[in-house]
Structure 1
Amino acid sequence: MRTRTDRAAANVGDLPKDGRSNPRPWSAEEVSQLHELWPNNPLWLVAKKIGRSQTSVRGKVTHLKLKKAPRRIDIKNPRCNPWTLADIERLKCLYATHTASQVASLMGKSASRIKAAVAAYGLARSRSSMPRTPIGAERIMHGYRYVKVTDTGARSQDWKRAHHVLWEETNGPIPVDFVLKFKDGNRSNLSIDNLVLMPRSDHLKQNPFYQYPTELRSAMSLLRLLKRRMETTK
């Protein structure tokens, strides 16, 4: 453990002997040492070994754009590795066919630790090995409840709004120029009595969005598109 003396020495090590505040230039040997020490050592230790202040070392690192070495898990060192060899083998088997969250639940670990181990061991899987969502599953997107009706792999075809499915099962396909609305405005009230079919032109007249100027509508549409893309990338 470093002492106050070590920290003080690290902070004044690059000052000239006459006590002036002008820092001495870096020599080629010091730069070479910095390249060798920086990837795997903390700032205070690098400064101590080179004989420079932490401020000087940090500035030189920024100037040279040096990077820290990626942290790796040493499977042979139990002090640095909380994973046993049996854990690692089980992780490899489970990760091939399960998501990180599912693996975390099965192994009794956090999802962040699973993801860190996956990155450390370089595990990978093909998209075809991922578990597929079964037909009939439901999820919420953009405030609407969706139901998976097919399994083609194309999201726009496989998932349909639940109130559309309910209407078509009772009344047949929705005409092209018509929209399906909730009478009470509650999208979670999936009752056939709460649905009404109306011409798209009448729907547009009721929508306050089209009462705004064209420029404002364009900006609002772009903002809505941005929010949807942010939701899909979470």
Structure 2
Amino acid sequence: MKEVRKRWTNAEIESLKRLYPDHRTEDLVEILGHSKTAIFGKAKILGLRKSAAFVESEKSGRIMNGSRKGESYRFKPGNIPANKGLRRPGYKPGRMGETQFKKGHRSHTWVPLGSEKLQDGYLLRKVSDTGYPPRDWRPVHRIIWEEANGPIPQGSILCFKDGDKTHIDLANLELVTRSELARRNRMWTNYPRELCETIHLAGVLKRKIRRRNREEQD
């Protein structure tokens, strides 16, 4: 069953304002009858904070310089760890040696350099093997453009002229500024929705026709 939230009364709010800065929240749970989460939330709404004096006191639960709190659980000078000497080279208790990955082991998803894959509609090619996918895989259309024209200038976007991400050809690529791209995408605010949907569907149909024609030519 869903727990019924208890409402704050004006008297409880005034008590919270008076007590919160200098009292432990756990103690306020007993005094005010609200949960710890509710008290934290209400204090945040009211902009209440613990006072500097409370924060510096032992009541806050913080470990201060010179405090002996928790001293019995601390490591003593000269303490010898229980596992000292056990983590030596070649230490393989039980079946650990059988189940450990061997040096040079590769994941079952590993593929060699030059491999390609589709991701979000873009064709990517593996150009390095660092193990960090955003660095190892690069869009093929960007590789083709940069080989012919150099790095893409900052503030520019590489687009497909016909809108077909699978039509990867240098002649089908163009650089546009971000502002130009924003103007192109403004169609949905400049035209009626029915017209925009028709334009979008026409684009989809054109891309399918071009793809079919290329497949037939191959």
TM-score w.r.t. structure 1 length?
0.35
Between Structure 1 and Structure 2, the one with more helix by share is 1
Greater radius of gyration (CA) = 2
TM-score w.r.t. structure 2 length?
0.37
